[in-house]
Structure 1
Amino acid sequence: MSLVHILLNTLYLLMQLFTGVIGVYQILTSLFGVWHRKRPITFHPQKRFAVIIPAHNEERVIGPLVDSLMDQDYPRRLVDIHVIADHCTDHTREVAERHGALVHVRHHEENRGKGYAIEWMLERLWEGPVQYDAVVMVDADNLVARDFLRRMNQRLCEGHKVIQGYLGVKNPFDTWVSVSMAISYWFSNRMWQNARQNLGLSCSLGGTGLCIDVGLLREMGWGATGLTEDLEFGVRCVERGILPIWDHDAKVYDEKPTTILASARQRLRWMQGHFHCARQHMWPLIKAGIRERNFAKIDAGIYLFQPMRFLILFLTSLMMLLQITPHTTPLSHVTSLLPTQFWVGVNVFLYLQMPLALLLERVNWRAYFGLIILPFFLWTWGPVVLQAYFTKGNRKWAHTIHKRAIRLDQLRSR
């Protein structure tokens, strides 16, 4: 056997081992996402919130978001809404002020991006006269359910320090791209985040719908200024033994890209930030988890090890296709570590989780038609991750343009 075939054989064996272990791990953990019981609210409103909204040219969507925060089922005196007009060249400031928010104008030619804007805003809050109990971070294109702050107050009163709310989608049926993204989020919310909450593991922070205890923020500092500031902060919390928790009933709704190009740009930024964070924190987390026998840290390290949970589907599908490739290809001489039946079974279980998640989440019947085109969207993760790996040194923030000025009452009627 030639050296080329030996190298190809070794690489293929490692790919099979890695993909097989990760695929089975995902199947086993996701089983714990099936169960969910809505938790009652027992604590009266007592925590004071500073809601931070980083905004760059968001005049089209900032108004409905502020309105949804003003309409919270929570005492108005305990909530301040702070909009960061970050390098805006449109009417974001005027629109936000007209809807009742406190607007802070920021200009900094070097430190651009959401993470820097949040850090700047937190410094202003610490120097201000108002003493807050917690900070809530919401993206400018979001809508927030009326009981969101009530549920964050509940979790804070129970003693939790970092809470991630449910990440819904406000425009799931705009295009095949947005419905594919929506299915991915419904799956992630139920079979990944909710599963880890039931297992007592750390959830992953989603960059919006996030609540953090002020005492912890002052102690740790924000320090998350990369392309995926949410991932950075969450990993640092786990390293300190503080597990971010998931609240499946505290919902925010996000606008998803409607074109494959816009979606690819957004996902490329996510993956560039993911690789950068993994390089710094993956091995320390795994080593600490093994040393301390702390499975939550090991699980967080595994999450950093695999670039994206939906990439699992891409990899397992690829392995199955390679396994059944005709023998006339260059792969005819490589060794199959795991039989074809294993890859077929793993793929069946992984793909069946998608309709199961839709069923459990009771989503609109139109979403099931999106399952037909979902495999095509999932396969686009491969090129995105590959490009992100070779451009992981990029630290330039890429803004996602938002267009849909949907109101919360319109969302309920969809």
Structure 2
Amino acid sequence: MSILGTIADGIFIALQVLIGVTSAYLATLAFFGLRHKKEVPASPPQKSFAVIVAAHNEEEVIEPLIDNLKKMDYPSELYDIYVICDNCTDNTAQIVRNAGAIACERFDDSRRGKGYAIEWMLDRLWEQEKQYDAVVMFDADNLVATDFLRHMNEKLLKGDRVIQGYLDTKNPYDSWIAISYAISYYFTNRMWQLPRFNLGLANALGGTGICIDTPLLKEMGWGAHSLTEDVEFTARCVERGIYPTWAHDAIVYDEKPNTLKASWNQRMRWMQGHFDCASRFLIPLLAKSIKTRNWAMLDAALYLFQPMRLLIILLITIILYLQLVMPEWWAVTDIQEILFPTEFWTVVSILIYGQLPLAMILEKANWRAYLGLVMYPIFLITWFPITVIAFFTKNNKTWSHTVHSRGIRVEELSR
């Protein structure tokens, strides 16, 4: 083997080790999600909330959400509902007023996107006479469990400052795309978020169902303007030593796309934003975690690394395939053949992939959700081209709106 070949092989081995170590770490951590102690709010309502909803042309779905929020199991004098009617050209604002919420109309084509809209709303909240203990954020297409604010009240009284609620799917059985999102949520909630909560690590904010302590927001400022404002704010919090926590029993139902095209566009935005945030926060967070020997920061850095990890997995797969079909041209070292026998890797694969149905069982998924496992591999495969394209277009900051049309009410939901 030539010198260049040796160097290339060394890099390939290093990449395999990196993926192997991170995969083993994630698979091991997931098992700490097997245990869930149900949290029942016991404290009387004390904290006040500004409930803000970001909405852009959401006349089809906004009224059921407001109706839902007005019926929360929480004293009405302790929370107000503000809807950011962001560059709306439909009847969203009028529907909001008719439904009994506060419509805050914003028109600014130069600063488009949810992150800018939230910052605009917060600036106005800080200026008004009435202040709140915390801010809760939802998307216009959401529905919310009626005890959500009680859970947030409980967490805040315990000293938590940034809280993420459980993300469920509002329309899981509308299409194979929607059920694929639902399956992903079952896994993420149980095998990613809950383990980190149980271990005292930082949880990842998910874009909606978020509660943030007002003094912290005023201290930090919102400052999250990327396509994934949730990832950005998570990274900023962890950098400051503030670890978002998890409320597994505070449920938010999120509407998911029904077509591959709509899903593709949404996930493209997610990946572009994630790459953008990783380019700014990954190295500083990783360096700080090593310097301070901080596990939570290291784990958060790994979260930022996830899109790059997916790219490396794709690269390794392509190279190993080329070696298989053109062995005389591709002579690289496959560490799976060197370190452990095939049987070992078979067991590891079963443990990793078995976590998906296990998460569904633990989360008591409806039997119809299991039918979605047939098409779910196709959904997973689509992540590869999305991630590749997003990597090369990560500097795109143009917000793309996901159309919502499922105006169902919380009473109609079925898990």
By how many angstroms is 1:319 displaced? 4.1
Is the contact between residue 16 and residue 316 of structure 2 (CA under 8 Å) also seen in structure 1? Answer: no
Is the contact between residue 164 and residue 244 of structure 1 (CA under 8 Å) also seen in structure 2? Answer: yes
Per-residue CA deviation, residues 249-285 of structure 1 (Å, 9 max, x unaligned), is 0000001111111111111111111111111111111
Partner of 1:164: 164
By how many angstroms is 1:332 displaced? 5.0
Partner of 2:410: 408
Could you tell which deviates more after superposition, 322-331 or 62-71?
322-331
Cα–Cα, structure 1 residues 254 and 11, in superposed 2: closer, same or farther, change >3 Å? same
Partner of 1:191: 191
Per-residue CA deviation, residues 207-240 of structure 1 (Å, 9 max, x unaligned), is 1000000000001000001111111111111111
Is the contact between residue 83 and residue 96 of structure 1 (CA under 8 Å) also seen in structure 2? Answer: yes
By how many angstroms is 1:155 displaced? 0.4
By how many angstroms is 1:345 displaced? 3.4
Partner of 1:351: 353
Partner of 2:23: 23
Partner of 2:397: 395
Is the contact between residue 61 and residue 404 of structure 2 (CA under 8 Å) also seen in structure 1? Answer: yes
Cα–Cα, structure 1 residues 4 and 42, in superposed 2: closer, same or farther, change >3 Å? same
The separation in 1 between residues aligned to 2:315 and 2:411, in whole angstroms, is: 40
Is the contact between residue 136 and residue 209 of structure 2 (CA under 8 Å) also seen in structure 1? Answer: yes
Is the contact between residue 323 and residue 332 of structure 2 (CA under 8 Å) also seen in structure 1? Answer: no
Normalised TM-score (structure 1): 0.94
Residue type at the aligned position of 1:336:
D
1:335 counterpart (312, 326, 333): 333
1:386 counterpart (372, 385, 388): 388
Q: Give yes or no for the alignment of 1:202 onto 2:198.
A: no
The separation in 2 between residues aligned to 1:405 and 1:308, in whole angstroms, is: 37
Could you tell which deviates more after superposition, 327-336 or 40-49?
327-336
Unaligned runs of 5+ in 1: none
By how many angstroms is 1:94 displaced? 1.2
Per-residue CA deviation, residues 125-157 of structure 1 (Å, 9 max, x unaligned), is 000111100000000000010000010001001
Q: Give yes or no for the alignment of 1:244 onto 2:244.
A: yes
Partner of 2:116: 116
The separation in 2 between residues aligned to 1:324 and 1:195, in whole angstroms, is: 37
Within 5 A, what are the aligned runs for 1:63-74?
A: 63-74=63-74
The separation in 2 between residues aligned to 1:209 and 1:155, in whole angstroms, is: 14
The separation in 2 between residues aligned to 1:167 and 1:131, in whole angstroms, is: 27
Residue type at the aligned position of 1:203:
N
Q: Give yes or no for the alignment of 1:361 onto 2:346.
A: no
Is the contact between residue 317 and residue 347 of structure 1 (CA under 8 Å) also seen in structure 2? Answer: no
Residue type at the aligned position of 1:350:
I
Partner SS state of residue 282, structure 2? helix
Is the contact between residue 65 and residue 142 of structure 2 (CA under 8 Å) also seen in structure 1? Answer: yes
2:374 counterpart (372, 375, 396): 372
Per-residue CA deviation, residues 20-45 of structure 1 (Å, 9 max, x unaligned), is 11210111110101110111212100
Cα–Cα, structure 1 residues 405 and 110, in superposed 2: closer, same or farther, change >3 Å? same
Is the contact between residue 314 and residue 384 of structure 2 (CA under 8 Å) also seen in structure 1? Answer: no
Residue type at the aligned position of 1:373:
M
Q: In percent, how many aligned pairs have the same letter? A: 53
The separation in 1 between residues aligned to 2:73 and 2:329, in whole angstroms, is: 61
By how many angstroms is 1:290 displaced? 1.5
Cα–Cα, structure 1 residues 168 and 12, in superposed 2: closer, same or farther, change >3 Å? same
By how many angstroms is 1:337 displaced? 1.7
The separation in 2 between residues aligned to 1:3 and 1:254, in whole angstroms, is: 53
Partner SS state of residue 163, structure 1? strand
The separation in 2 between residues aligned to 1:379 and 1:15, in whole angstroms, is: 21
Per-residue CA deviation, residues 3-24 of structure 1 (Å, 9 max, x unaligned), is 7754653443233122211210
Aligned pair count reads 411
Partner of 2:58: 58
Partner of 1:303: 303
Residue type at the aligned position of 1:58:
E
Unaligned runs of 5+ in 2: none
Is the contact between residue 320 and residue 334 of structure 2 (CA under 8 Å) also seen in structure 1? Answer: no
Q: Give yes or no for the alignment of 1:267 onto 2:275.
A: no
Partner of 2:87: 87
By how many angstroms is 1:375 displaced? 1.4
Give me the CA root mean square deviation. 2.1
The separation in 1 between residues aligned to 2:316 and 2:56, in whole angstroms, is: 39
Per-residue CA deviation, residues 56-112 of structure 1 (Å, 9 max, x unaligned), is 000001011111100100001111000011000111111111111100000012111
By how many angstroms is 1:330 displaced? 6.3
The separation in 1 between residues aligned to 2:60 and 2:328, in whole angstroms, is: 53
Could you tell which deviates more after superposition, 183-192 or 274-283?
274-283
By how many angstroms is 1:293 displaced? 1.6
Could you tell which deviates more after superposition, 226-235 or 336-345?
336-345
Is the contact between residue 55 and residue 84 of structure 2 (CA under 8 Å) also seen in structure 1? Answer: yes
The separation in 2 between residues aligned to 1:151 and 1:2, in whole angstroms, is: 62
Is the contact between residue 58 and residue 140 of structure 2 (CA under 8 Å) also seen in structure 1? Answer: yes
